[in-house]
Amino acid sequence: MPPLINVRSISKAFGAEPLFQNVSFTVSEGDRVGLIGPNGSGKSTLLRILAGTEETDDGEIAVRKRIRLSYVEQKSEFRSEDTVRSVVEAAMNSSAVPESERGTRFAETLGRAGFVNLEAEAVALSGGWQKRLAIVLALVQAPEILLLDEPTNHLDLAGIEWLEEVLKQAAFACVVISHDRYFLENVATEMAELSRVYPDGLLRVKGRYSTFLEKKEEFLHAQSKRQEALENLVHSEIEWLRRGAKARTRKSKARIDKAGDLMEELGDLNTRTRSSAAQIDFSTTDRKTKRLIELQNVAYEIGGRRLFQALNFIITAGLRVGLVGPNGSGKTTLLRLLRGEVAATEGEIRRADKLRIVYFDQRRELDPSVTLRRALAPEGDSVIYQDRVTHVASWAAKFLFKSEQLEQPVERLSGGERARVLIAQLMLQPADVLLLDEPTNDLDIPTLEILEESLLEFRGSLVLVTHDRYMLDRVSTVVLGLDGQGGAERFAGYSQWEVWQGERAQSMESRARADARDSSGSRSAASSKKKLSYLEAREYASMESRLAAAEEVLQLKRAQAEDPAIASDSARLLRSHAELDAAQHEVDELYARWAELEKKQA
């Protein structure tokens, strides 16, 4: 069967600078492609070309007729009058989903996404919930291909795990741009990197992200060997030419032509393999104090809601804290408390004398009207970094900016470029404590790796809020988890926090079921007969056993879907996931019916 989308030898340029050239890309049924590449390589442009919202300069695009395609852009925008219900209903009405199926799809998709208040204004939702809503809008249209551009930006960890499950169980194909390495490892069945370092502009590998890294290393090693061999050959040919070779014979002319071809190939290789990376290195002070910030019985309340309470925590020299929790649990608020920007509702926060705190704001607040030159060097044409004077052009080059960009307004910078500007500003400020609120958004994977290395080498203390689980595992020495219900716990690492979250969820579910059983047992038989019909009473009495049986089936179907033996059999894999979806739907329906009967007889 032909691919769903087949892109052949396309090129795209903005002005005189090409983004990519002669790139070929296919999307077939069942594909889950993770698309990565350096900032500015053209990933988002390629995705828009696949979506049909942008034209190519050259090449051909073939799309299967009547294909259902959904595309979720990086930024989610809604109108002031939009509610959760209205935008989802509008999306379904414009889709090819049969009217008879819309009600079920509407309830199931929104329910699994965690939406409770369907009348909430879309623009009033947090960034994470707006992103969830944008993804839901795509899902309810029953796409055959789903294109996602940085979907994990602004999602909290629970939201990322929800999206992972959606994509792993989906029957549709998807292409997802992401810098979240654990997300790519968990979701992608194929990886593609868009980069000029490859002869065809793209390296595509079947397998997970870890497999891709192995194959990429093999490719680059082979390319390096070829480059070394070419350099030796070219050196020999140049020596031969210098000895005064004459082009009078056919053999001499052929050798001269060969030397020219070798030089051209080497020049192309040198151009492609020439790479640059951001130079990130945070400055520390020479402070010897061990206790930097101490929280004693700290609580914070806003709008009648207590975010956390009885929080006791000490930030000592060299401690690297990963701060985790669902959206709205108070992570950013806690950073503001540590900084002294807001006061605690209860308790005390003690800071060491003359403590230097440097803060990275997730909102990327840069004056859009100033030039890149002024953003990087506010006081003149140079900066002082680690007691040395550095010209602004050299300082800009450390963060991969070209000298011709210095007069460009900040508003024209990409999200990744703005993040690099903010990091550059932070590096000029010696710090005892770094407070970083979502610094990974919009950064490409090479820059993320450099940022991680810098944080590992930073001699001060660090409090890091990020949804990048790989960075959390690698950088943090302790994890502080906020549960969103007023509680806070300390953990050795992110994986321990995940286990604790799972155990809490199971405990709460068990208590809810026990309460439901106790509540039903305490009601009199007479009351039950009065408020439920005979058939409803019989249905209610059998509900618990039916649920238990349905959950057993669900567990069986989940185990079958995760069986490695069917991973390479696309037909069996699709059938197994369809059966898993049906089993999950049956459990959801039974719980909904149980709640309905409970409410009726209450």
Convert the pLDDT of each residue in 132-158 to its tens digit.
999 999 999 999 999 999 999 888 888
Across-strand partners of 192? 35, 204
Class of domain 5-213: alpha beta
Residues of the chain by 3-state class (helix, strand, coil), percent to 5: 50, 20, 30
Above 80 in pLDDT, residue 599?
no
Q: What is the DSSP string of 268-333?
A: HHHHHH----------B-----SEEEEEEEEEEEETTEEEEEEEEEEEETT-EEEEE--TTSSHHH
Q: With pLDDT > 70 as the criterion, what percentage of the chain qualifies?
A: 82
pLDDT per residue as tens digits for the range 387-444 = 788 888 888 888 888 888 888 888 888 777 887 888 888 888 888 999 998 888 778 8
How far, rounded to the nearest angstrom, does the alpha carbon of residue 204 sit from its chain's CA centroid? 20
Domain 523-601 fold is Helix Hairpins (1.10.287)
Q: Tell me, what's the pLDDT at 526?
A: 42
Per-residue pLDDT tens over the stretch 10-33:
999 877 678 888 999 999 999 999
49-103, pLDDT tens digit by residue?
999 999 999 999 999 988 999 999 988 889 888 999 999 988 888 887 788 888 8
Q: Which pLDDT score is estimated for 199?
A: 81
| Neighbour-count burial of 41, counting CB atoms closer than 10 A to its CB (0-12 exposed, 13-18 middle, 19+ buried) | buried
Phi/psi for 96 (5° steps) reads -90, 10
Q: DSSP for 369-407, please give it.
A: TSBHHHHH-TTSSEEEETTEEEEHHHHHHHTT--GGGTT
Higher pLDDT, 457 or 600: 457
The pair of structure tokens assigned to 136 is: 């839901």
**Which sequence spans correspond to the domains of the chain?**
5-213, 225-273, 291-491, 523-601
5-213 and 291-491, same CATH topology: yes
Return the CATH superfamily for domain 291-491.
P-loop containing nucleotide triphosphate hydrolases (3.40.50.300)
In this predicted structure, which of 34-43, 76-85, 218-227, 430-439 has the lowest mean pLDDT? 218-227
Other CB atoms within a 10 A radius of the CB of residue 156 amount to: 24
pTM over 0.75: no
Strand ranges inside 424-460, DSSP E: 433-437
Q: Calculate mean pLDDT across residues 208-222.
A: 86
DSSP per position, 548-562 = HHHHHHHHHHHHHHT
Question: Distance between CA atoms of 393 and 198, rounded to whole angstroms?
Answer: 29
Q: What is residue 436's DSSP assignment?
A: E
